Chains A and B, each alone.
Chain A
């Protein structure tokens, strides 16, 4: 190495060290700057919240009139869980809004609640939001609201106009972080009327009759299993499990499991699993878990006799008139829940977003329930006659049996436990002998009251 090369190498090394030191210093400065900016943002955000609250109070005093349509063109990005046909039904709501708000352009993007919960906390922490109106899980909305990322909408809707308890899911003290949209129900086992007629089957009136029905379906040529088991992320199995818990433990058991007062290792819970659900899995009355939308097609084609699913199934089959359902005969409650929407504090058009949010919580529900979305409104001012006809009969059947509407167990508990619940049920379905281990695992992670 020549003298000059040596000198250059030394200079290069010295520069490298200096650059690293400078880089480090720059990072420290940037971090402190970013922390100052965050503090400033928090202060501004607090101020904005106070102004929002004041505005809300003033609106209440003035009769909470909806904001006038914006004079200049505004674009809103709405993020919701619906895709395919379901997205078309939601598009009907957007179209209805645009009729009265021609200056508002709305772009709808599909994102599952799981992904919203996974992706957005990081974006919120960075002070950005990918949408102006976003649908998500109620527990997650409250969590983000508490962390200061969501606009408090307590002045936007009147709680008394909604099905009791439905707004509570997105409340924290006096603050309301989201609005309820339409509601789904998970009312029972769906069947094709034509299938039942063809094979002389009828709805059961007791657990024993239910088992006899399954045995009869099992004997029908071409039927793989009497009950189709939906799979995917895992919720279809948790839905049918909850239905058994409500039917044989009563509605209060569901509420106590949610609050954690009753543990999963409680003898009452074990008894329901061991004597009602697991025997049916062991006897292969339930199919192996199949991707849930594929299961709809196979069940409709007659490979399975009945299928436990939510009311949205009414919009997924070829002929909803051929569709009927029955809950487990002893059930005195069914799970129902709403989709919830919120406005992040980082929305670029908060006023227009809040106006659309209010529409979703009120008239938008009527539009959504009038198309084959398989939903009913949570807004009490919507009339039953406005519902899509197949949903009118579902609604009347549930109401006729005097059933209470209960919150979804795993959606209410949420967090990691929800995933664990789904995963352990997948295990139980293929290995019913693991019951005690499954219950023990669920209990160990179950939140305490």
Chain B
């Protein structure tokens, strides 16, 4: 009887996983390595060597500002967005811990997380619009006219606008996780540091931050995975332009799939994207398992 329960218990989820998760993944990988005549690396070679600015993974004629290719744009996104998400997440979580009205501030920060992607994309467009956007207005007040314009229509600033906008969107996640991490730190360690005469700065850097290391790892890896998958806000805010200056991998995958109807190439980009995502995903799983031990 117990064996039968086991069978039912395992069979159903395995079947669901097999059909809805394992099969599509395998089929996509197979699709990326095949053509109508059989096995081929053609799709992978074609997407890697593509020169059109809207579809290039690495743009062959890079200038002083984008387009540089989706791979570089994604890397740049990680290089700029990730430190900001982690740093601002820790600082805000720490400052908002016991501050008056912190709940309201947290709600505003968390708003970015719950907005649909299309709305977020439009919000980013408005945030960087010369007439109504907060960023151009701020730079106008500071007298920096080069940045007091609509960021999303210039190749020099379009990608940066998206990166900064995405930091706001993802900050809610970072603050929430760091807040939970801060709550989990035993008060006794902080009290001991106070008795030993440590200053608030010393307590933050030498007592709190080291204890937030596992949480930081989670935020870092989840943020990288999120950045690699980013599509909707780019699609809505800039469409990858102007001149391909803000394309990202997921957008190129979509372009091949839904616009050019080149499914093999779309699958090739998806496979590359999945491989890149697997690195942080693997590290994340490893850290979770290490935590369980």
* A contact residues vs B (CB 8 Å cutoff): 8, 11-12, 15-16, 19-20, 23-24, 27, 117-119, 121-122, 231, 233-234, 288-289, 415-416, 419-420, 422-424, 426-427, 429-431, 434, 438, 441, 444-445
- In the complex the two chains form, what is the Cα distance from A27 to B27 in whole Å? 11
Closest B residue, CB atoms, query A415: B260
Interface stretch, picked from B11-19, B138-146, B270-278, B285-293, is: B11-19
Given A19, A118, A430, which contacts B14 in the complex, CB threshold below 8 Å?
Answer: A19
Instruction: Fill in one digit per residue for B232-255: 1 if any A CB lies within 8 Å of its CB, else 0.
Output: 000000011111110000000001
Tell me the smallest distance from the CB of A225 to a CB of chain B, in Å. Answer: 13
Given B6, B10, B52, B154, which contacts A430 in the complex, CB threshold below 8 Å?
Answer: B154
Tell me the smallest distance from the CB of A9 to a CB of chain B, in Å. Answer: 10
7 residue pairs, one from A and one from B, having the closest CB atoms: A427-B243, A23-B18, A426-B242, A118-B258, A423-B241, A427-B242, A19-B14
| B3 near A423: Cβ-Cβ < 8 Å | no
Closest A residue, CB atoms, query B52: A445
Tell me the smallest distance from the CB of A283 to a CB of chain B, in Å. Answer: 17
Given A16, A24, A118, A427, which contacts B10 in the complex, CB threshold below 8 Å?
Answer: A16
- In the complex the two chains form, what is the Cα distance from A136 to B161 in whole Å? 33
Residues of A contacting B2 in the complex (Cβ-Cβ under 8 angstroms): 8
Assuming the A-B contacts A416-B260, A430-B242, are A423 and B7 also in contact, with contact meaning beta carbons closer than 8 angstroms in the complex? no
* B contact residues vs A (CB 8 Å cutoff): 2-3, 6-7, 10-11, 14-15, 18-19, 22-23, 51-55, 130, 149-150, 153-155, 239-245, 255, 258-261
Residues of B contacting A118 in the complex (Cβ-Cβ under 8 angstroms): 258-259
- In the complex the two chains form, what is the Cα distance from A30 to B149 in whole Å? 56
- In the complex the two chains form, what is the Cα distance from A415 to B255 in whole Å? 10
- In the complex the two chains form, what is the Cα distance from A29 to B54 in whole Å? 40
| B6 near A423: Cβ-Cβ < 8 Å | no
Given B23, B242, B259, which contacts A423 in the complex, CB threshold below 8 Å?
Answer: B242
Residues of B contacting A12 in the complex (Cβ-Cβ under 8 angstroms): 6, 10
- In the complex the two chains form, what is the Cα distance from A424 to B240 in whole Å? 11
Given B10, B155, B259, which contacts A117 in the complex, CB threshold below 8 Å?
Answer: B259
- In the complex the two chains form, what is the Cα distance from A121 to B258 in whole Å? 8
| A420 near B52: Cβ-Cβ < 8 Å | yes
| A15 near B155: Cβ-Cβ < 8 Å | no
Residues of A contacting B153 in the complex (Cβ-Cβ under 8 angstroms): 231, 288-289, 426, 429-430
Assuming the A-B contacts A15-B6, A19-B10, are A423 and B19 also in contact, with contact meaning beta carbons closer than 8 angstroms in the complex? no
Could you say which of B2, B6, B14, B149 has the most chain A C-beta atoms within 10 Å of its C-beta?
B14
| B258 near A119: Cβ-Cβ < 8 Å | yes
Residues of B contacting A444 in the complex (Cβ-Cβ under 8 angstroms): 51-52
Residues of B contacting A24 in the complex (Cβ-Cβ under 8 angstroms): 18
Residues of B contacting A445 in the complex (Cβ-Cβ under 8 angstroms): 52
Residues of B contacting A441 in the complex (Cβ-Cβ under 8 angstroms): 52-53
- In the complex the two chains form, what is the Cα distance from A24 to B15 in whole Å? 9
Residues of B contacting A16 in the complex (Cβ-Cβ under 8 angstroms): 10, 14
Given A8, A416, A422, A426, which contacts B6 in the complex, CB threshold below 8 Å?
Answer: A8
Could you say which of A27, A118, A233, A419 has the most chain B C-beta atoms within 10 Å of its C-beta?
A419
- In the complex the two chains form, what is the Cα distance from A416 to B51 in whole Å? 13
| Given A23-B15, A430-B153; 16 other pairs, CB 8 A cutoff | A8-B6, A16-B10, A16-B14, A118-B259, A119-B258, A122-B258, A288-B130, A288-B149, A415-B259, A416-B259, A419-B255, A426-B242, A427-B242, A434-B243, A441-B52, A444-B52
| A420 near B18: Cβ-Cβ < 8 Å | no
Tell me the smallest distance from the CB of B265 to a CB of chain A, in Å. Answer: 11
Could you say which of A20, A234, A289, A430 has the most chain B C-beta atoms within 10 Å of its C-beta?
A430
- In the complex the two chains form, what is the Cα distance from A141 to B27 in whole Å? 29
| A27 near B259: Cβ-Cβ < 8 Å | no
- In the complex the two chains form, what is the Cα distance from A441 to B11 in whole Å? 54
Tell me the smallest distance from the CB of B256 to a CB of chain A, in Å. Answer: 9
| B23 near A27: Cβ-Cβ < 8 Å | yes
| B11 near A423: Cβ-Cβ < 8 Å | no
Closest B residue, CB atoms, query A120: B258
Given B15, B23, B240, B261, which contacts A19 in the complex, CB threshold below 8 Å?
Answer: B15
Residues of A contacting B261 in the complex (Cβ-Cβ under 8 angstroms): 121
- In the complex the two chains form, what is the Cα distance from A438 to B155 in whole Å? 13
Assuming the A-B contacts A11-B3, A27-B18, are A430 and B11 also in contact, with contact meaning beta carbons closer than 8 angstroms in the complex? no
- In the complex the two chains form, what is the Cα distance from A118 to B130 in whole Å? 31
Could you say which of A117, A121, A426 has the most chain B C-beta atoms within 10 Å of its C-beta?
A426
| B155 near A427: Cβ-Cβ < 8 Å | yes
Tell me the smallest distance from the CB of B67 to a CB of chain A, in Å. Answer: 9
Assuming the A-B contacts A23-B18, A430-B153, A431-B155, are A423 and B239 also in contact, with contact meaning beta carbons closer than 8 angstroms in the complex? yes
| A15 near B243: Cβ-Cβ < 8 Å | no
- In the complex the two chains form, what is the Cα distance from A117 to B257 in whole Å? 11
| A20 near B52: Cβ-Cβ < 8 Å | no
Tell me the smallest distance from the CB of B70 to a CB of chain A, in Å. Answer: 14
Could you say which of B14, B19, B243 has the most chain A C-beta atoms within 10 Å of its C-beta?
B243
Residues of A contacting B239 in the complex (Cβ-Cβ under 8 angstroms): 233-234, 419, 423
Closest A residue, CB atoms, query B261: A121
Tell me the smallest distance from the CB of B239 to a CB of chain A, in Å. Answer: 7
- In the complex the two chains form, what is the Cα distance from A215 to B73 in whole Å? 40
Q: List 24 A-B contacts (CB under 8 A).
A: A8-B3, A8-B6, A20-B18, A23-B18, A118-B258, A119-B258, A231-B153, A288-B153, A415-B259, A416-B52, A416-B54, A416-B55, A416-B255, A419-B239, A419-B255, A419-B259, A420-B53, A420-B54, A423-B239, A426-B242, A430-B153, A430-B154, A431-B154, A441-B52
Could you say which of A19, A117, A122 has the most chain B C-beta atoms within 10 Å of its C-beta?
A19
Tell me the smallest distance from the CB of B195 to a CB of chain A, in Å. Answer: 46
Residues of A contacting B240 in the complex (Cβ-Cβ under 8 angstroms): 423
Closest A residue, CB atoms, query B244: A423
Tell me the smallest distance from the CB of A40 to a CB of chain B, in Å. Answer: 22
Residues of B contacting A234 in the complex (Cβ-Cβ under 8 angstroms): 239, 241
Closest A residue, CB atoms, query B6: A12
- In the complex the two chains form, what is the Cα distance from A441 to B244 in whole Å? 11
Residues of A contacting B130 in the complex (Cβ-Cβ under 8 angstroms): 288
Residues of B contacting A23 in the complex (Cβ-Cβ under 8 angstroms): 14-15, 18-19, 22
Tell me the smallest distance from the CB of B27 to a CB of chain A, in Å. Answer: 9
Residues of A contacting B260 in the complex (Cβ-Cβ under 8 angstroms): 415-416
Tell me the smallest distance from the CB of A123 to a CB of chain B, in Å. Answer: 12
| A427 near B241: Cβ-Cβ < 8 Å | yes
- In the complex the two chains form, what is the Cα distance from A444 to B52 in whole Å? 8
| A423 near B258: Cβ-Cβ < 8 Å | no
- In the complex the two chains form, what is the Cα distance from A422 to B6 in whole Å? 58
- In the complex the two chains form, what is the Cα distance from A20 to B7 in whole Å? 12
Assuming the A-B contacts A15-B6, A121-B261, A288-B150, are A419 and B243 also in contact, with contact meaning beta carbons closer than 8 angstroms in the complex? no
Closest B residue, CB atoms, query A229: B153
Closest A residue, CB atoms, query B254: A118
Residues of A contacting B258 in the complex (Cβ-Cβ under 8 angstroms): 118-119, 121-122
